[in-house]
Structure 1
Amino acid sequence: MHEVIRGKAKYWGFSHFVNREHSNLSSKIRRISIQGSIDSVLESNKDSKIRSVSLFNVGKMPNCFVTTLIMDFKLIKVLDFEDSPIEYLPKEVGNLFHLHYLSVKNTRVNVLPRSIGKLLNLETLNLKRSLVSMLPAEIKNLKKLRYLVAYISVNFKELKELSKLRNLRKLGIRVTNGNEKDPYACIGNLEKLVCLSIQGTSREEILDIESMTSPPPGLERLHLKGNMKKLPDWILKLDHIERISLELSGLTDDPLRVLKDLPNLLDLMLWDTCHDERLHFKEGWFPKLKILELVDFKGVELMIIEKGAMPNLEDLRIGSCPRLKEIPIGIEHLRNLKILVFRLMLKEIYYMIKDEKWKEVTQHIPKISVTFIMKGKIYYHTTKYLSSVLPVDFEKYIKEVEQST
């Protein structure tokens, strides 16, 4: 079957490997992969109908290469420059009428040309980890855009323009204090949005998103990072939400109590959002949840899980919780739990394992481990291994670990 596929791919010109020694292409070739040097590769194939170019291990990318690629290959549908040494996009990129996908992720590109507004068929624009800090106003013309990742500082005017992209499905923005108008109300107009990330520059940046009284109705994933006193009331309207990630400081209410009844929530990550000594999951809470991550709950001393809470949970990750010294009460009720991880809690978990109840209440869990940092690297041990370590040997080991950090 592999030989048949290779033969068919060669016959139909599906793809071709190009280097200095093999640079001439047949007119059938539509996709090329360039390895190492890019010298004169494109110049020798200007008449071909290339639609896709992939680059591997390219150390340098002269401006002339980018210009040639964009000016001479009019049928290009995909331009993926991720991780490449590219530093700019020429204005001619706007002439690629057929372009569906454009990514400058993890590059040194810092400006998008205004001609990008001519890419009327563009569906994906990925600017993640690039140096682009502003979006040109012409971006409002991209009516087919469905996926935009642009961690930029936005104000009301810019976000209002983005709200005209009614087909947008994924949006990530970074906001700063001092916006002259509330920038969030416009987001509710993005009716097809399924993924939304709003981040301040830090967990201390104030996010006042209560004005977004009507969130996108089909929202499935939500990430919030910043400072807010309470979760917005509209979060309870997210009937289709499947994944929530909160990195929030300043909360005065318990997010677990707020989110517990969301009917389709599958994945929840909370980062330092609980300041109580007791973490209590009650019967009926989180009926469909499969993954739960509780990060940096430094004040928690006791964790209680009632029978009937999180009945479908498969993956539970806790820590660091340096004050949690007891086995989570009721963990035996999580009958579908397959993975249990304690982060940065080596010492705490070792002594939990020595409790005579440990084996009885955890024997149904296939994989239990604990992570720790030693000499700047993250390591892990299974609890099965830790249970075999003698206390005297563990004390020596834990001193070595603590001294290395």
Structure 2
Amino acid sequence: MMSQTLRSLLCFHQKVMPNCSKQKLLKVVRTDWYMDSINVRMFEGLTQLRYLNLNSSPSDKGGQGDEYEQRYFEKVIGTMKCMQTLRLNLDCLYFPDCAWQINTLRHAWTSSNIPNLPTSTKLSNLQTLGVVSPNESWETDQLPNLPNLCTLYLLNRSCSWMVVAAFLGTLNNLITLSLDGYFPGDIFDMRDFPFYQNLQYLQIELCGENSGETPNEMVIDVIMLPPHLIYLGIFSCRFQQDVISVLENLYCLKHLELQNVQTNRKMKSSAKGFKQLEKLWLYYVTVLEDWEIEEGAMPILREIRISNCQELCVPQGLRHLTNLQELSWVNNGHEGKEDEVRNLCKHVPSLKFSYE
């Protein structure tokens, strides 16, 4: 039996969640993915909750849920007037509309999509929002008003760039931005957005109008990207140039991740590039054949992960990376490359090899 003075309830590796409706002083509740289902009645009366993070295994309802359950869930959440963080990774329940009436709400997240982000209403305390899709019905004078938003995860499948750009143009304080879906090729040019100088974490994944398509080949210049980026992740993009030679001029960058990126067959890391880079991850850069690493390049790099770059020859310049602590070499062609990597990286404490 749980104590009625319990403040936090964390459920890990449990199929069924214990009934916590009598623990009126609870402030934190979190479940993990092992949960088969969530009974919303267990949360009735928990008006002191500050943090609610619900996860459950995929259901057979296809994300539609039960209308009565949804209404009941709205009622329960509406009583939690102290809520600060609401994270829902549930197939069967939508993000509740009533949450936007909770003035203390700072972090709102759902694994699927927030269906009804309010327009015009000012959500002054909101700092984190995801996953949200822009709506074609938004008017430029009735965009969501999020003056203090710092983190945004935006999914776009059909909305015009004009609406998306208008929404992004209202966000002055963004530090973290994730863009997933259909965007124009010049999405990397962020100079006109008010968060250009503030943004530190950026992830972009592009597709065509139809799922699985990639956009036309793009050309980017380092000046297009926010100058103070610490993390940059680029997924499913096609470029006309050696992307590394452009990105290495981002002088604050510490972590670069490229996945399913089509670039030149030859890539070059120059002696003056990536002065602050600590982590470099390359996944499914399938056309890459040669990577030249000049002596002096990436002087403080600690970790490299190269996965499924099967055409890539072993970069001889790996021997120049004297501060490298970990190299992961996964499914990059024949196993004969392993000995070559070992000979070049005798100075690296951790070498990890895997072949599928």
Q: Given the two structures, how large is their TM-score scaled by the length of structure 2?
A: 0.79
Report the more deviating stretch, 294-303 or 152-161.
152-161
Q: CA offsets per residue over residues 240-287 of structure 1, 9 Å max, x none? A: 211001014332233222211111100101124344232211110111
Residue 135 of structure 1: how far off its partner (Å): 2.4
Residues of 2 paired with 1:95 and 1:50: CA distance?
14
* Residues 323-343 of structure 1 deviation map (CA, whole Å, 9 limit, x = unaligned): 234x31222111011112222
Q: Does 1:125 align with 2:108?
A: yes
Q: Deviations 1:160-215 (Å, cap 9, x if unpaired)?
A: 866521211111111124527341243243222111011116xxx64542476235
Tell whether 2:160 aligns with 1:187: no
Inter-CA distance 82–59: structure 2 relative to 1 (3 Å threshold): closer
Q: Rg bigger for which structure?
A: 1
Query: Within 1, Cα distance between the matches of 2:333 and 2:167?
Result: 46
Q: Output the CA distance in 2 between the equivalents of 1:37 and 1:359.
A: 48
Counterpart of 1:150 in structure 2 is 131
Contact 1:280 1:304 in 2 (8 A): yes
Which secondary structure state, in structure 1, belongs to the residue aligned with residue 138 of structure 2? helix
The Cα of 1:78 is off from its aligned counterpart by 2.0
Higher RCO (C-alpha under 8 Å, 6+ residues apart): 2
**1:82·1:107 contact (CA, 8 Å) conserved in 2?**
no
8 Å contact kept, 1:228–1:248 = no
| Corresponding position of 1:307 | 295
Matched with 2:272 is 284
Equivalent residue for 1:108, pick from 88, 92, 101: 92
The equivalent residue for 1:51 is 27
- Aligned residue pairs total 332
Secondary structure at the residue paired with 2:316?
coil
- Higher helix fraction: Structure 1 or Structure 2? 1
In the alignment, the residues of structure 1 paired with residue 123 and residue 255 of structure 2 have an alpha-carbon distance, to the nearest angstrom, of 32
Structure 1 pair 39–310 and aligned structure 2 pair: CA distance change class (3 A):
closer
- Which piece of structure 1 moves more, 281-290 or 267-276? 267-276
Structure 2: runs of 5 or more not aligned: 60-64, 207-214
Offset of 1:368 from its aligned partner? 2.0
The counterpart of 1:213, out of the listed 177, 189, 192, is: 192
Q: Which shifted more, 99-108 or 132-141?
A: 132-141
Counterpart residue type for residue 307 of structure 1: E
| Match in the other structure for 2:211 | none
For residue 176 of structure 1, what is the aligned residue in structure 2?
157
Report the alpha carbon displacement of residue 307 of structure 1 after superposing the two structures with TM: 0.8
Question: Are 1:321 and 2:292 matched, yes or no?
Answer: no
2:95 and 2:110 in contact (8 A); partners too? no
Distance in 2 of aligned mates of 1:184 and 1:147 = 19
- Change in 2 beyond 3 A, CA 1:314/1:96: same
Question: Could you tell me how far 1:153 is from its partner in structure 2?
Answer: 5.4
Q: Which moved more, 1:190-199 or 1:246-255?
A: 246-255
2: CA distance, partners of 1:73 / 1:301: 58
Q: What SS does structure 1 have at the residue aligned with 2:89? A: coil
How far the C-alpha of 1:305 sits from its partner, in A, is 0.7
Quick check: 1:184–1:212 contact (8 Å CA) kept in 2? no
Residue 102 of structure 1 aligns with an amino acid whose one-letter code is L
Match of 1:345 among 317, 329, 332: 332
Gaps of 5+ in 1: 1-21, 374-405
Amino acid at match of 2:205: K
TM-score, L = length of structure 1: 0.71
**Higher mean C-alpha displacement, 101-110 vs 257-266:** 101-110
Superposition deviation, residue 94 in structure 1: 2.8
Give the aligned partner of residue 399 of structure 1.
none
| Cα distance in 2 for residues equivalent to 1:259 and 1:319 | 20
| SS class of match (2:309) | coil
Q: What is the CA RMSD across the aligned residues, in angstroms?
A: 3.3
Give 1:231 shift: 5.5
One-letter amino acid matched to 2:160 = N
Tell me if structure 1 keeps the 8 A contact 2:311–2:332. Answer: no
CA distance, structure 2, for counterparts of residue 344 and residue 190 of structure 1: 41
Q: Which moved more, 1:312-321 or 1:210-219?
A: 210-219
> Between the two proteins, what is the percent identity of the paired residues?
20
